[in-house]
């Protein structure tokens, strides 16, 4: 049986990461769902709470991926958006020898010459609380969802928008 062609959206995947039970950590998933609602049929949206090698399946078979997630730098206010290309980040040792994050998984897949996204961008919101089960999202993190979705729209309209702290 002949396989159908991948829809155009398969060239652009939006990956919402997080856990919708953990206060601000729900940001990536909620923002991805909002982008999917506002851009029906124009993007492929995947949401996951996976980590390590379990992320590999989400970055295979696609040319470009935008990741929505949380970050805690303790240098910015909650709700601040950070936007960067994965390949522009300095490599750092993992927390444990068996820990792999998104950046390590992408690098590993590229070394194996797997069909992995060659262009990856992360839109991360500065979080306040990613540990409280059932906790409310910080209001500034909640309001950053709309700004993050606007950035996703920019990437969909024309890949290669400027990357900076927003």
- As assigned by CATH, the class of the 8-157 domain is alpha beta
**What b/e readout covers 67-96, taking b as 16+ CB neighbours within 10 angstroms?**
bbbbbeeeeeebbbbbbeebeeeeeeeeee
- Residue 50 near residue 58, CB atoms below 8 Å: yes
Q: Tell me: the pLDDT tens digits for 136-165? A: 899 999 999 999 999 999 888 875 444 444
Residue 94: pLDDT band by 50, 70, 90 thresholds? very low
Q: Residue 30: helix, strand or coil by DSSP?
A: helix
Query: Alpha helices, DSSP H only, in 66-138?
Result: 102-111
- Residue 49 near residue 104, CB atoms below 8 Å: no
Helices 27-38 and 139-157 pack at an angle, to 10 degrees, of 40
Q: Tell me: the pLDDT tens digits for 6-27? A: 444 447 899 999 998 888 999 9
């Amino acid at each position: 049986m002949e396989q159908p062609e991948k829809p155009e959206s398969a060239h652009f995947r939006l990956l919402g990461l997080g856990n919708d039970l953990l206060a601000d950590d729900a940001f990536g998933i909620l923002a991805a769902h909002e982008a999917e609602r506002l851009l029906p049929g124009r993007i492929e949206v995947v949401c996951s709470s996976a980590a390590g090698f379990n992320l590999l399946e989400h970055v295979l078979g696609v040319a470009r991926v935008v990741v929505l997630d949380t970050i805690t730098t303790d240098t910015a206010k909650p709700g601040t958006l950070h936007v960067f290309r994965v390949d522009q980040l300095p490599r750092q040792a993992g927390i444990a020898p068996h820990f792999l994050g998104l950046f390590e998984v992408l690098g590993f897949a590229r070394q194996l010459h797997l069909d992995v996204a060659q262009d990856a961008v992360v839109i991360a919101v500065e979080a306040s609380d990613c540990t409280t089960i059932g906790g409310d999202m910080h209001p500034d993190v909640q309001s950053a969802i709309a700004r993050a979705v606007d950035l996703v729209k920019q990437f969909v309209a024309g890949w290669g928008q400027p990357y900076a702290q927003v």
